[in-house]
Amino acid sequence: MKKISKSKLFVCIFLLIFVVYPLIEMLLQVSWGGFGKLVTSDNFIEALTNSLKVTTASTIVSILLGYFLAYTLNRTNIKHRAVLKVLLTLPMLIPSISHGLGLINLFGVNGIISKKFGFNIIGPVGIMMGSVLYSFPIAFLMIDDGFHYINPSMYDNAKVLGLSKWQSFKTVTLCYLKKPLLSAIFSVFTMAFTDYGVPLAVGGKFLTLPVFLYKEVIGLLDFSRGTMIGLFLLIPAFISFLFDNFTRDYTSSNGEKEMIIKNSKFKDTILTICTYIVLIIIFVIIGSFVYYSFIDNFVLNKAFSLKHFDYVIGDGLFEYIFNSLLIAIVVSIVGCIIAYTTAYITARKKGKLSKLIHIFTILSLAIPGVVLGLSYTISFNNFFIYNTYIILIIVNIIHFIASPYLMAYNALQKVNSNFEAVAKTCNISIFKLIIDVIVPCTKKTIREMFSYFFVNSMVTISAVAFLFNVETMPLSLLINNYEGTMMLGEAAIVSLIILIINMFVKGIIYIINRIEHNRSMYGVN
């Protein structure tokens, strides 16, 4: 029991130092006398209005697209569901700025498609398209998960009661998808509202709030104004945080019963074709990276060339890859240990301190990466960890800990609650119980936690944009540098490398999961 108390104390102190303290320190930097001047300035009003417009439009499209794809994979006889689900989430494996880069390649001033038809999407249209591409996989995964927990017998009951398909949709589907749908709406809105990668790439002169903050802090080193702008970026995330914790979930206890899908050749064909059109769009945008990487000059000379590779390699590519891999691997290992330990404390050792730790942990969901990075810059710029790998590792752990923590929390609640009592009776330590019994019961969850930490650490830009130096700079930030100087071929190469690394890691985890699944199916230890 003493060890658990020490663990609680350690986790609580860790979260207080790296979650609560930076936010408080950031708020103390605000010059409230200039707050009114900022919020009434033309640039701020323009940036806020623009952000709200494109974010709202992007959210609507992403949610509709996410629902459509989730419905297709769960309510039609489409083939290769598992493969399609993986392919539809490919946009999550590259930084958001890379989506903007892909759109420039296709629809920019000199884009492959736009040049032939005499138009370009630089501005609000480009931001909306990039935001949808970046965020719809999140909506899709949340809604897809919600479909798995709808009890199929509810539809039979609705049919017996004489309800029409539309009435069944309202009373069953919408009822049980209410929280997943609303969570997806808030998550997508927050992602699009706080992202500066896409607007930086394709926004042109269309100013958004995150880009405004980035320019104030990086360009003018005005931390007070940056903090005030950051407070506005916190608002949608904080609303989402409150909603997720105080909204009732209508999950059905029998929801994992298999759904019997009726054959409907026309519906299945139409929805399958539409799903593959979405996949084609994803692959075309990713394919534009490949095309850009292997030509001399997109405008003047489209002959095959490896000069972009030569330049990136000569620019220290392998050092940046090493930095990103080091950060991602350490974040994944240490992050899993901290998230799993925290989840064990809160899921299986109840108490007031456990509730406080739970709130502090999921509080990180309400802090956008750009705001978290800014708060760390303000709070730790005089500490020895600043401009080192340590602060980059910590900021990534805090930025991404909420989702892996919730994965572990939910998994640990399903593990037999009597294990601790049996261990105590048999004089077995809690540590040995966790290592020998509980961890093996949750191996798949731990692998998914590792994957989540790794992929997001490789693609993040916003959280680390203020915290690196030349020696610790992650690979993803090279995209920023190259895109800013219109070296799009080089930026495309970096995007591809990140995608390949993340696909490799996800592939390994997928193979391990499949091997373990097959062993369990055939009773092989």
Return the higher-pLDDT residue of 494 and 366.
494
Q: What CATH number is associated with residue 467?
A: 1.10.3720.10
Return the higher-pLDDT residue of 72 and 161.
72
Do 285 and 375 belong to one domain?
Answer: no
Do 90 and 54 belong to one domain?
Answer: yes
Helix (H) or strand (E) holding 301: strand 301-304
State the average pLDDT over residues 336-352.
Answer: 87
State the average pLDDT over residues 155-182.
Answer: 73
How far is residue 390's CA from residue 394's CA, in Å, rounded to a whole number? 6
How far is residue 289's CA from residue 301's CA, in Å, rounded to a whole number? 17
- Whether 524 maps to a domain, the answer reads no
Do 344 and 445 belong to one domain?
Answer: yes
Helix (H) or strand (E) holding 304: strand 301-304
Last residue of a domain, one of 242, 274, 292: 292
Do 350 and 429 belong to one domain?
Answer: yes
Residue-wise pLDDT tens digits, 224-267 = 777 788 778 777 767 766 766 665 555 444 444 566 677 778 88
Structure pTM?
0.84
Residue-wise pLDDT tens digits, 382-395 = 888 988 999 999 99
Q: Which of 216-230, 340-354, 411-425 has the lowest mean pLDDT?
A: 216-230
Mean pLDDT of the residues in the chain: 84
pLDDT of residue 256: 47
pLDDT of residue 518: 78
How far is residue 64's CA from residue 78's CA, in Å, rounded to a whole number? 19
Do 437 and 487 belong to one domain?
Answer: yes
- Whether 20 maps to a domain, the answer reads yes
Do 124 and 260 belong to one domain?
Answer: yes
Last residue of a domain, one of 292, 318, 348: 292
Do 58 and 169 belong to one domain?
Answer: yes
Residues whose CB is less than 8 angstroms from the CB of residue 114 and which lie 6 or more positions away in sequence, other chains included: 106, 107, 108, 120, 121
pLDDT of residue 461: 87
Residues whose CB is less than 8 angstroms from the CB of residue 194 and which lie 6 or more positions away in sequence, other chains included: 210, 233, 236, 237, 368, 369, 370, 371, 462
Do 7 and 84 belong to one domain?
Answer: no
Tokens 């007031």 appear where? 352
Q: Are 96 and 130 in contact, with CB atoms under 8 Å apart? A: yes
Do 26 and 123 belong to one domain?
Answer: no
Residue-wise pLDDT tens digits, 462-475 = 888 889 888 999 99
Which tokens sit at 346?
């809160």
- Residue 450's nearest CA partner among 500, 512, 371 is 512
What is the separation, in whole angstroms, between the first and last Cα of the chain? 33
Q: Are 127 and 202 in contact, with CB atoms under 8 Å apart? A: yes
Residues whose CB is less than 8 angstroms from the CB of residue 394 and which lie 6 or more positions away in sequence, other chains included: 18, 376, 385
* 276: containing domain: 42-292
Q: Are 89 and 144 in contact, with CB atoms under 8 Å apart? A: no
Number of domains in the chain: 2
Do 276 and 359 belong to one domain?
Answer: no
Is the pLDDT confidence value at 397 over 90?
yes
- Whether 92 maps to a domain, the answer reads yes
How far is residue 306's CA from residue 297's CA, in Å, rounded to a whole number? 11
Beta bridge partners of 301: 297
- Whether 274 maps to a domain, the answer reads yes
Q: Are 285 and 103 in contact, with CB atoms under 8 Å apart? A: yes
- Whether 499 maps to a domain, the answer reads yes
Do 224 and 271 belong to one domain?
Answer: yes
How far is residue 109's CA from residue 201's CA, in Å, rounded to a whole number? 13
- Residue 1's pLDDT band, with cuts at 50, 70 and 90, is very low
- In degrees, rounded to 5, the angle at the alpha carbon of residue 100 between the alpha carbons of residues 98 and 102 is 70
- Residue 365's pLDDT band, with cuts at 50, 70 and 90, is confident
pLDDT of residue 423: 82
- Whether 37 maps to a domain, the answer reads no
State the average pLDDT over residues 92-110.
Answer: 86
- Collapsing DSSP states into helix, strand and coil, what is residue 426? coil
- Residue 346's pLDDT band, with cuts at 50, 70 and 90, is confident
- Whether 87 maps to a domain, the answer reads yes
Is the pLDDT confidence value at 143 over 80?
yes
- Residue 145's pLDDT band, with cuts at 50, 70 and 90, is confident
- Whether 60 maps to a domain, the answer reads yes
How far is residue 217's CA from residue 206's CA, in Å, rounded to a whole number? 19
Say how many C-beta atoms besides its own lie within 10 A of residue 397's C-beta. 24
